[in-house]
């Protein structure tokens, strides 16, 4: 039976993991340097989707652990980065980091049993997203998904980030609403990529912001929150119409990189206030996400045995 992807509790009393049952933390043991962490999302019973730059070519599956919610720990069977991801590809042009195709699938060593706090998020162009969009199956096409999820202008969406609860100082998850800068908003958003310290040698911004990227952040019309290193998270789209009722969420992007790491040596934001932790982050603080509609052949191939019903 379908895993009912994207179904999550929405009411305030629900626990963080019940509101974001696909949210995982990936811990990578680095010899001599402790652990590094990234975030990811469960996309099927065995696979987690995250950013490829979370891993180095020497990381081994044995050094990686995935935590779902507070306490479900999984060993990792394999890590498969997108074949076209190559962070050092433009080094000889004075561009130290290149994030094109910055996505990876982590295969868990045992399958995840769906529950109220463990459930995959729906991927674009699968029957699950058709259901999440409350559209008829199989009449609804992949093109329809893209038209519905990545509309023109500022597309309301959100990503999930760590926060700390005011009283017991426990860590929590909070949603950060952002707008995907589409159509005419896209140009200005992408231009700010050149403000990244490592991109001083970039002449044409399309060298580093390729077709694969979605752009968020900036202060127009209001300040968007920014991502931080280690939050290689997901740009989710709550079902546009029913934000208050249960979220039938769809995934459209994977956070890859940002111009400014607004969290460096800053403490976690307080969950309750939900205030932007980045007062004072510059308007050129933009974030770039891999658009899943641009890597579908790879997703379909890697997830072919997961019963996701790709359209
Ligand atoms: C091209 O130059 C920039 C690339 C990446 N940036 C680091 C970074 C990574 C790796 C991942 C995520 C999610 C980030 N969110 C905000 C920053 C940030 C640094 C800026 O700190 C320089």
* Ligand 1, atom nearest to 53 Cα: 10
Residue showing tokens 């720990």: 73
Atom of ligand 1 nearest to the CA of 256: 13
Any atom of ligand 1 within 6 Å of the Cβ of 36: no
| C-beta 102 within 6 A of ligand 1 | no
- Residue-wise pLDDT tens digits, 162-197: 888 887 778 888 888 888 888 888 999 999 999 999
**Phi (first) and psi of residue 252, to 5 degrees:** -120, -20
Whether the CB of 255 sits within 6 Å of ligand 1: yes
Contact between 191 and 85 (Cβ < 8 Å): no
pLDDT value of residue 66: 97
Please state which of the ranges 95-99, 125-129, 132-136, 192-196 shows the lowest mean pLDDT: 132-136
User: Which is the closest atom of ligand 1 to the Cα of 262?
Assistant: 16
Sign of CA dihedral 165, 175, 178, 233: positive
State whether the beta carbon of 161 lies less than 6 angstroms from ligand 1.
no
Q: Over the stretch 36-59, which tens digit does the pLDDT of each residue have?
A: 999 999 999 999 999 999 999 889
Ligand 1 centre distance from Cα of residue 37 (Å): 14
Ligand 1 proximity of 228 Cβ (cutoff 6 Å): yes
Please tell me if the CB atom of residue 225 comes closer than 6 angstroms to any atom of ligand 1. no
pLDDT (0 to 100) of residue 178: 87
In 3D space, the residue among 174, 181, 132 whose CA is nearest the CA of residue 156 turns out to be 181
Mean of pLDDT values over 76-104: 97
Structure tokens at 134: 């409350």
Section 237-257 average pLDDT = 69
Nearest CA among 98, 101, 104, 87 for reference residue 41? 104
From its phi and psi, is residue 230 left (phi > 0), alpha (psi between -120 and 50) or beta? left
CA of 259 to the centre of ligand 1 (A): 6
Compute the distance from residue 113 Cα to the ligand 1 centre, in Å.
Answer: 34
Q: Hey, is 129 helix, strand or coil?
A: helix
- Determine the distance separating the centroid of ligand 1 and the alpha carbon of 228, expressed in angstroms: 7
Ligand 1: which atom is nearest the Cα of residue 227? Answer: 15
Per the prediction, the chain carries an average pLDDT of 88
Helix ranges (H only) for 161-259 are 184-191
The structure tokens listed for 80 are 């498969």
Single out the residue of 296, 288, 181, 310 nearest to residue 226, CA to CA.
288
Q: Is the CB of 100 under 6 A from ligand 1?
A: no
Distance 196 CA to ligand 1 centre (A): 8
Query: Is the per-residue pLDDT at 291 higher than 80?
Result: yes
Would the CB of 290 count as within 6 Å of ligand 1? no
């Amino acid at each position: 039976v379908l895993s009912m992807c994207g179904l999550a509790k929405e009411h305030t009393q629900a626990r963080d993991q019940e509101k974001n049952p696909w949210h995982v933390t990936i811990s990578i043991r680095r010899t001599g340097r402790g652990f590094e962490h990234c975030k990811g999302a469960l996309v099927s019973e065995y696979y987690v989707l995250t950013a490829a730059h979370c891993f180095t070519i020497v990381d081994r599956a044995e050094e990686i652990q995935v935590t779902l919610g507070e306490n479900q720990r999984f060993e990792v069977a394999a890590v498969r980065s997108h074949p076209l991801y190559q962070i050092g590809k433009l080094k000889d042009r004075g561009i130290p980091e290149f994030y094109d195709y910055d996505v990876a699938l982590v295969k868990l060593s045992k399958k995840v049993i769906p529950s109220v706090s463990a459930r995959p998020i729906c991927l674009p162009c699968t029957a699950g997203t058709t259901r999440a969009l409350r559209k008829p199956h199989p009449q609804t096409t992949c093109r329809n998904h893209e038209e519905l999820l990545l509309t023109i202008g500022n597309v309301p969406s959100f990503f999930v980030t760590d926060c700390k609860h005011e009283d017991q100082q426990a860590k929590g998850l909070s949603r950060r609403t952002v707008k995907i800068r589409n159509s005419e908003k896209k140009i200005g958003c992408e231009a700010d990529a050149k403000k990244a310290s490592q991109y001083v040698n970039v002449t044409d911004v399309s060298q580093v912001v390729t077709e694969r990227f979605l752009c968020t952040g900036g202060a127009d019309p209001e300040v968007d929150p920014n991502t931080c290193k280690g939050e290689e998270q997901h740009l989710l789209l709550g079902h546009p119409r029913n934000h208050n009722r249960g979220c039938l969420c769809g995934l459209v992007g994977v956070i890859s990189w940002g111009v400014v790491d607004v969290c460096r040596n800053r403490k976690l934001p307080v969950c309750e206030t939900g205030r932007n932790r980045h007062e004072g982050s510059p308007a050129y603080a933009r974030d770039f996400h891999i658009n899943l509609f641009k890597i579908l052949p790879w997703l379909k191939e890697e997830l072919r045995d997961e019963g996701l019903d790709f359209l």
